[in-house]
Amino acid sequence: MRIDLHAHSNVSDGTEKPADVMASAARAGLDVVALTDHDSTGGWAEASAAAIDVGVALVPGMEVSCRTAEGISVHLLSYLHDPAHPGLLEEITKAKQARHTRAERMVTLLAEDYPLTWDDVIHHVAPGATLGRPHIADALVAAGVVEDRSEAFASILTSRSRYFIPHYAPNPAVAVELVCAAGGVPVFAHPVASSRGRIVGERVYRDMIDAGLAGLEVDHRDNPEEGRTFLRRLAAENNLLITGSSDYHGTGKPNLLGENLTAPEVLARIEELGSGTAVVRS
């Protein structure tokens, strides 16, 4: 069984509609895929209908934006949570709104040096989607400033750039507690992806584990091999699940569906732990 537990649609920063993500998963030979858009479950209904049509099981999920007290960005995957849970919904709504305000401020700064307007950015955002830096990157690509998203994030949109502005996000341990309260299964996404920016120390892992963290996304292209060794040791010591996935974004990233996979027994455990919603199967 081929299981990929991290994929994005244009409900956040992917380039394909939720139904098209499911069709792409089928073409990639996957049996199961999780839709994990940033701070949104808006793609679940469309993906669920498509899952039945294409014969690929859907794990309803979400990627929750978090931030430590030191300002380090953390992404938390939530599987099978109740999308209407008040506490979790309030936090992701706040984070989604903060992303929008942050994007407006960044575009204002960028417009001082590049041919970019707010309308240029909005053109690349699907209705109701979680707006983020990838949409700004798409506008910069369209304007001929950079060749692709990767170049934009390596230069103009890096967190070290003068154009970068942080946005509100909950503390990782608080987010873990909220996911658990919503009946979800929390998994730390690409924890040692140092190429993306600063990574957390062991205290943050400990706080998240104490709050109910269920697993670590170990097999991900952005986790270096020495980091994966550390994560496997940490998982063994704390009885955490180990997942693998692509972090697929359509044409928005080079990541390919199925390039890293999760073991069937891990998915079975996620289904045992999750109580907010269920895997959609044909």
pTM for this predicted structure: 0.92
Residue 122 CA to residue 103 CA, distance in Å, equals 10
Assess whether 261 and 188 both reside in one domain.
Answer: yes
Q: Where are the alpha helices (DSSP H) in the chain?
A: 18-27, 44-54, 86-110, 118-122, 133-142, 149-154, 172-181, 202-211, 225-238, 264-273
Give the number of domains in the chain.
Answer: 2
pLDDT, residue 207, reads 98
Assess whether 228 and 177 both reside in one domain.
Answer: yes
**Residue reference for tokens 């910069």:** 140
CATH number, position 264:
3.20.20.140
CATH number, position 138:
1.10.150.650
Assess whether 70 and 177 both reside in one domain.
Answer: yes
Residue 86 resides in a domain: yes
Per-residue pLDDT of the chain (282 residues; tens, 9 = 90+): 999 999 999 999 999 999 999 999 999 999 999 999 999 999 999 999 999 999 999 999 999 999 999 999 999 999 999 999 999 999 999 998 998 999 999 999 999 999 999 999 999 999 888 899 999 999 999 999 999 999 999 999 998 899 999 889 999 999 999 999 999 999 999 999 988 889 999 999 999 999 999 999 999 999 999 999 999 999 999 999 999 999 999 998 999 999 999 999 999 999 999 999 999 998
Assess whether 60 and 120 both reside in one domain.
Answer: no
Assess whether 66 and 198 both reside in one domain.
Answer: yes
Assess whether 86 and 51 both reside in one domain.
Answer: yes
Provide the greatest CA pair distance for the chain. 52
Residue 204 resides in a domain: yes
Assess whether 76 and 14 both reside in one domain.
Answer: yes
Residue 81 resides in a domain: yes
Assess whether 132 and 53 both reside in one domain.
Answer: no
Assess whether 172 and 259 both reside in one domain.
Answer: yes
Assess whether 118 and 220 both reside in one domain.
Answer: no
- 195 backbone dihedrals φ, ψ, rounded to 5°: -65, -20
In tens, the pLDDT along 79-96 reads 999 999 999 999 999 998
What's the token pair of residue 140? 């910069």
Residues 6+ apart with CB under 8 A from 259: 221, 246
Residue 98 resides in a domain: no
Residue 12 CA to residue 108 CA, distance in Å, equals 22
pLDDT, residue 197, reads 82
Residue 160 resides in a domain: no
Range of the domain at 109: 103-154
Residue 123 resides in a domain: yes
What b/e readout covers 194-227, taking b as 16+ CB neighbours within 10 angstroms?
eeeeebbeeebbebbbebbbbbbbbbbbbbeeeb
- Cα angle: 54, vertex 57, 59; to 5 degrees: 135
pLDDT, residue 128, reads 86
pLDDT, residue 200, reads 97
Residue 282 CA to residue 277 CA, distance in Å, equals 16
Assess whether 87 and 196 both reside in one domain.
Answer: yes
Assess whether 82 and 108 both reside in one domain.
Answer: no
pLDDT, residue 1, reads 97
What's the token pair of residue 102? 């942050």
